[in-house]
């Protein structure tokens, strides 16, 4: 099975468009040896998008009901780019229909749902993948390489953050992301899960945590004609309650003894997109800031006294996932390239049957962290993750 037949669900949305592009694009960079992808179905509930979708991917079936794509014997891989609350039911139906599944993050609304999906996939021998793409920028492979080699010693502290101001303006209109029925964990599953994916990738599993969730703006105006859930809503003067967290602070411990601090917010006024981490070890440290998307700052205690300080190291064509795109250093790989790397890895996994990080097992652990954050904030107490 060198050609994987893909159905993209939520095809008109942001991720639906990015995933479609990535499946169509990756062979130009990674070649065809790891398999190719053919998008055979595009699904979006909005029928008005059909004509445009058909032009984007000639020959693909254009559907409005995801169930049709899941039942289609022509589909090998179901790619879920739908709002969070649909991830579990759609992934479950796809796995039961014998499809490999690529699901956007967060894998599910609860760890119990994620566990069910990971178990189903294991029992049926199906390949899974969660869309935690940020750590797939090769700059983070470089960070992991430095950590794993022991260059910074034993990791003692991880600090991470992700801040945006999408809802910084109290008058920014309501959307599904702020509705607890459609995105039950709000910023925690939406954005926290990105920070948690870095924690998993670079440091290891989290074993306990304490967290504080905040709703900063409790009500938002509804814009006429906006779509929440299945129905169009809105009209002059209507307001909706924000029913999931806007911002969160977390303190945690990892299984390996390291400590962690993370915070994330969608109301960080002025921050258009801030993502970063600091990893401190017994012999050195690594700093990363998305504003310098391909650069690490690395401190090594092995440098001579009087010459110590942070060195800026850019990931370049020495790394295969960088070289796949660019033969020269400092041209920069951004967000969409990480999604292309991800699509290439997903297809290679389906072709070879060899899973690649992050699978539904990883997605489950990240959902356990999300659950623990929700519980800790509710109980105002530390929570163990078992």
Ligand X SMILES: NC(=O)c1ccc[n+]([C@@H]2O[C@H](COP(=O)([O-])OP(=O)(O)OC[C@H]3O[C@@H](n4cnc5c(N)ncnc54)[C@H](O)[C@@H]3O)[C@@H](O)[C@H]2O)c1
Query: Closest distance between ligand X and the C-beta of residue 384, in Å?
Result: 27
Choice between 133 and 333, CB closer to ligand X: 133
**Exposed/middle/buried for 123, CB within 10 Å: 0-12, 13-18, 19+?**
exposed
Judged by beta carbon, residue 14 or residue 239, the one nearer ligand X is: 14
Which CB, 82 or 161, lies closer to ligand X?
82
Residues that bind ligand X (CB under 6 A): 10, 12-16, 43-46, 66, 81-84, 86, 104-105, 131, 133, 190
β-bridge mates for residue 259, sequence order:
157, 253
Task: State the minimum distance, in angstroms, from the CB of residue 291 to ligand X.
Answer: 17
CB-based contact 109:184 (threshold 8 Å): yes
Q: How far is the CB of 81 from ligand X (least distance, A)?
A: 5
93, 94, 95, 96 alpha-carbon torsion, rounded to 10° = 50
Q: How far is the CB of 151 from ligand X (least distance, A)?
A: 29
Closer CB to ligand X, 227 or 381, in the complex:
227
Nearest to ligand X of 104, 285 (CB atom): 104
Q: Which residue is nearest to ligand X (CB)?
A: 13
CB–CB of 3/37 below 8 Å? yes
- Nearer of residues 213 and 300 to ligand X, judged by Cβ: 213
CB of 82 to ligand X, least distance (A): 5
Would you say 43 or 340 has its CB closer to ligand X? 43
**Residues 6 or more apart whose Cβ sits within 8 Å of residue 136:** 321, 338, 341, 342, 345
Torsional sign, CA 79, 160, 386, 145: positive
Task: Determine the Cα–Cα distance for residues 344 and 340; give it in Å rounded to an integer.
Answer: 6
Task: Dump strand ranges (E) for the chain.
Answer: 3-9, 36-43, 61-63, 77-80, 100-103, 128-130, 155-163, 206-214, 219-221, 227-228, 231-232, 239-241, 247-254, 259-265, 274-281, 284-289, 295-300, 311-314, 383-384
| Residue 109 or 116 having the CB closest to ligand X | 109
Taking CA 328 as the corner, what is the angle to CA 327 and CA 332, rounded to the nearest 5 degrees? Answer: 105
* Cα angle for residues 72, 66, 54 (degrees, 5° grid): 80
Minimal distance, residue 278 CB to ligand X, in Å: 21
Least separation in angstroms between residue 239's CB and ligand X is 21
Question: To the nearest whole angstrom, how small is the minimum distance from the Cβ of residue 83 to ligand X?
Answer: 5
Least Cβ distance, residue 8 to ligand X (angstroms): 10
Q: How far apart are CA 135 and CA 105, in angstroms?
A: 13
330-337 own/partner pairs: CB under 8 Å, 24+ apart: 330/294, 332/293, 332/294, 333/137, 333/138, 333/139, 333/293, 333/294, 334/293, 335/133, 335/134, 336/18, 336/21, 336/22, 337/137
If the CB atoms of residues 6 and 383 are measured against ligand X, the closer one turns out to be 6
């Amino acid at each position: 099975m060198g050609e994987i037949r893909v159905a993209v669900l939520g095809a008109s949305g942001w991720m639906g468009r990015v995933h479609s592009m990535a499946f169509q694009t990756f062979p130009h960079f990674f070649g065809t040896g790891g398999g190719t992808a053919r998008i055979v179905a595009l699904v979006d509930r909005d029928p008005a998008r059909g004509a445009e979708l058909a032009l984007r991917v000639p020959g693909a079936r254009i559907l409005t009901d995801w169930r049709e794509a899941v039942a289609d014997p022509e589909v090998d891989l179901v790619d879920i780019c739908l709002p969070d609350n649909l991830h579990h039911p759609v992934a479950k139906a796809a796995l039961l229909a014998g499809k490999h599944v690529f699901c956007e993050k967060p894998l599910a609304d609860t760890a119990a749902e994620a566990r069910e999906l990971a178990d189903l996939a294991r029992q049926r021998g199906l390949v899974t993948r969660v869309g935690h793409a940020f750590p797939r920028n090769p700059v983070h492979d470089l960070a992991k390489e430095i950590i794993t080699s022991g260059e910074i010693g034993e990791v003692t502290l991880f600090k991470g953050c992700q801040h945006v101001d999408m809802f910084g303006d109290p008058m920014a209109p309501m959307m599904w992301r702020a509705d607890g029925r459609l995105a039950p964990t709000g910023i925690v599953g939406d954005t926290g899960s990105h920070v948690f994916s870095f924690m998993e990738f670079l440091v290891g599993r989290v074993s306990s945590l304490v967290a504080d969730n905040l709703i900063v703006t409790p009500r938002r105006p509804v814009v006429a004609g906006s779509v929440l859930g299945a129905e169009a809503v809105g009209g002059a003067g209507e307001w909706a309650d924000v029913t999931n967290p806007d911002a969160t602070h977390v303190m945690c411990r990892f299984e390996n003894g390291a400590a962690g601090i993370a915070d994330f917010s969608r109301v960080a006024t002025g921050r258009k997109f801030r993502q970063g981490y600091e990893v401190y070890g017994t012999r050195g440290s690594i700093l990363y800031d998305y504003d310098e998307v391909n650069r690490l700052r690395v401190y090594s205690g092995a440098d001579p006294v009087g010459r110590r300080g942070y060195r800026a190291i850019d990931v370049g064509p020495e790394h295969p996932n960088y070289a796949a795109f660019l033969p020269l250093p400092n041209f920069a790989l951004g967000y969409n390239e990480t999604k292309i790397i991800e699509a290439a890895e997903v297809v290679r996994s389906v072709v070879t049957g060899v899973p690649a990080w992050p699978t539904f097992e990883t997605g489950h652990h990240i959902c356990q962290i999300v659950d623990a954050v929700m519980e800790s904030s509710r109980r105002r107490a530390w929570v163990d993750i078992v």
